[in-house]
A and B are shown apart, each in its own frame.
Chain A
Amino acid sequence: MAKRAAPEVNAGSMADIAFLLLIFFLVTTTIATDSGLNRKLPPMDDENVEPPIIKEKNIFTVSINGKNQLLVEEQLMDLKDLRKAALEFLDNGGGTDENGNKCDYCKGKRDPNSSDHPNKAIISLKNDRETKYSMYISVQNELVAAYNILRDRRAEELYGKTLAEMEKDYDDVNYRGNKENLKEKIEKIKIEYPQKLSEVQ
């Protein structure tokens, strides 16, 4: 006995479906770009140059030992508290910068025993040879985060936008505002909270 004919499936729209998927993937996938923490190494020491004298209170020492323990200002500290401690140190503004100006944008405690001015505040990071790289990156990340928080806060105050947004605008080709002006604003914030992170060898 003859079987009943199965009706033929119309495949005409298959190509459309395929293209739809193709376009979907084209739009959603991004080619992986590397990202990371940018740092600048100090140049080799010039032996003829006398190192500047820096007051103890303007240095925030962070050291990591071989067991990945964190020593901040001579005290053991947990990684999760580091960001706040660094923030308080940088934003203290207890004194004046080298030109005698007070830090009028700092919101810290103005403790005379902590840093004078963001301009003078230096974070010194020291690590052991046995320190694990992941721990080191975590610490670097927290310190950079402290700077970023302060810069964002200042940018928000002055221009109503975070620094990250301003930098994004600067890179955006369709940005309609004045780019020169924007660059100046970004530079100003970076000068107000300079990233002074030194790594001890």
Chain B
Amino acid sequence: MGKFNKKKSGDLPAISTASLPDIVFMLLFFFMVATVMRDNTLKIKNVLPSADQVEKLDKKDLIMYIYVGQPSERFQSQYGKESRIQLNDKFADVSEIPAFIRAERASKREELRDYLTTALKVDKDANMGIVGDIKQELRKENALKINYTTKKGDISNNQN
């Protein structure tokens, strides 16, 4: 009769794609949760040293980041292999730190300015000379709260 469209038993059944959106959403959510927004693109090598007596740094808006490390490979022809400071997105000199601190302070609400902390994200192979210079500048600017940002781990990881 009219039922000539009746499926032949030989056809492979179509794979159900009904759950595909779920899988996609799951991935989406996972990445949304797990990714940390990085506001600076690093132009330097930045492997942090390990320490186990660490305290957490919360209140992300009240932290100024100073990065130090060897320029990454594509910048080495221009900036050499010696450790450099990176402020925001650019390489900087020690003498630019006071201006940076003042700019950061000015961008915060007045009552929060005393709570600003400087996080020093220094590569573990950098030497202390440059860190000492930075600390000296910070003292001059009266930005006395600092944090040596580290990974959580045993200090034996620091010897290589």
Q: Do A and B bind each other?
A: yes
Mark A residues whose CB is within 8 Å of B.
Answer: 2-9, 11-12, 14-15, 17-19, 21-22, 25-26, 29, 31-44, 64, 79, 127-138, 140-142, 144-145, 148, 199, 201
A12 to chain B, nearest CB (A): 8
Q: Which 4 A-B pairs have the closest CB atoms?
A: A14-B19, A129-B129, A2-B10, A134-B124
Interface residues of B in 1-17 (CB under 8 A from A): 8-13, 15-16
Give chain A residues whose Cβ lies under 8 Å from the Cβ of B52. 141, 145
Contact B16 A34, beta carbon cutoff 8 Å: no
A39 to chain B, nearest CB (A): 5
Give chain B residues whose Cβ lies under 8 Å from the Cβ of A64. 128
A-B contact count (CB 8 A): 185
B153 to chain A, nearest CB (A): 10
For the complex, is B82 an interface residue (Cβ under 8 Å from A)?
no
Mark B residues whose CB is within 8 Å of A.
Answer: 8-13, 15-16, 18-19, 22-23, 25-26, 29-30, 33-34, 36, 49-58, 60, 63, 68, 117, 119, 122-129, 131-132, 135-136, 138-140, 142-150, 152, 155, 158-160
Contact A138 B51, beta carbon cutoff 8 Å: yes
Give chain A residues whose Cβ lies under 8 Å from the Cβ of B16. 8-9, 11, 14
Contact A41 B135, beta carbon cutoff 8 Å: yes
Query: Known: A34-B57, A37-B51, A132-B125. Is A25-B30 also a contact (CB below 8 A)?
Result: yes
| 11 A-B contact pairs sorted by A residue (CB < 8 Å) | A2-B8, A8-B13, A18-B26, A22-B25, A29-B30, A34-B147, A129-B132, A133-B125, A134-B125, A136-B131, A137-B50
| A21 CA to B143 CA, complexed, in Å | 45
Contact among B36, B55, B140 with A44 in the assembled complex (CB-CB below 8 Å): B140
**In the complex, residue of chain A having the shortest beta-carbon distance to the beta carbon of B47:** A134
Give chain B residues whose Cβ lies under 8 Å from the Cβ of A41. 135, 138-139, 143-146
Contact B155 A31, beta carbon cutoff 8 Å: no
Give chain B residues whose Cβ lies under 8 Å from the Cβ of A7. 13
Contact A137 B124, beta carbon cutoff 8 Å: yes
Give chain B residues whose Cβ lies under 8 Å from the Cβ of A18. 19, 22-23, 25-26
| A72 CA to B29 CA, complexed, in Å | 52
B13 to chain A, nearest CB (A): 4
Contact among B26, B36, B125 with A21 in the assembled complex (CB-CB below 8 Å): B26
| A148 CA to B25 CA, complexed, in Å | 45
| A138 CA to B155 CA, complexed, in Å | 6
Contact B53 A127, beta carbon cutoff 8 Å: no
A91 to chain B, nearest CB (A): 17
Query: Known: A133-B124, A138-B155, A140-B148. Is A15-B22 also a contact (CB below 8 A)?
Result: yes
| A29 CA to B125 CA, complexed, in Å | 30
Contact A140 B127, beta carbon cutoff 8 Å: no
A47 to chain B, nearest CB (A): 14
Give chain B residues whose Cβ lies under 8 Å from the Cβ of A12. 18
Contact A132 B124, beta carbon cutoff 8 Å: yes
Query: Known: A22-B26, A130-B129. Is A36-B158 also a contact (CB below 8 A)?
Result: no
Contact B147 A38, beta carbon cutoff 8 Å: yes
| A14 CA to B22 CA, complexed, in Å | 8
